Amino acid sequence: MSRPVLVLNGPNLGRLGSREPDVYGATSYAGLVESCRTLGAELGFDVEVRETNDEGELVRWLHEAADGKIPVVINPGAFTHYSYAMRDAAAQRTAPLIEVHISNPYAREEFRHTSVIAAVATGTVAGFGLGSYRLALRALAEEVTG
């Protein structure tokens, strides 16, 4: 039986493939979903990928994960830099939580250099394009299997 994992995506990530392809690549959001599900299955995970532009919905999903002891891979998008509500929800985690970024925030605008999520995450993977998600899922597999 495979273990449930949530891959949560914040604002504008549903526009992958058309949103700034020089920064975020040409792969569509559907391509990201398929990639996460395929690798997740190989790792023994039942991956559910979600995306929202709504901060409150992300907070509710983090509560769901905490209540269900479900591991999380999260790309908070712009919420990374200022959502203390999401930080507080992530701090309630009861299973590993890995923060992911497609680009390297430290190579971009200064406001992107701060993550309010990082301090409560198990770890952060950034700068490897959509490969950041694959690396995060592999790290999650290490975390949950020891």
Whether the Cβ atoms of residue 58 and residue 86 lie closer than 8 Å to each other: yes
Q: Does the annotation place 103 within a ligand binding site?
A: yes
Task: Compute the distance between CA of residue 5 and CA of residue 14 in angstroms, rounded to an integer.
Answer: 19
Task: Compute the distance between CA of residue 43 and CA of residue 141 in angstroms, rounded to an integer.
Answer: 7
Catalytic residue among 63, 82, 101, 106: 101
Is 24 annotated in the active site?
yes
Is 63 annotated in the active site?
no
Q: Does the annotation place 102 within a ligand binding site?
A: yes
Q: Does the annotation place 81 within a ligand binding site?
A: yes
Task: Compute the distance between CA of residue 116 and CA of residue 131 in angstroms, rounded to an integer.
Answer: 23
Q: Which of 80, 138, 137, 139 is nearest to 104 (CA)?
A: 80
CA angle 11, 77, 13 (to 5 degrees): 50
Residues designated as active site? 24, 101
Sequence ranges of the binding site for substrate: 75, 81, 88, 102-103, 112
Sequence ranges of the binding site: 75, 81, 88, 102-103, 112
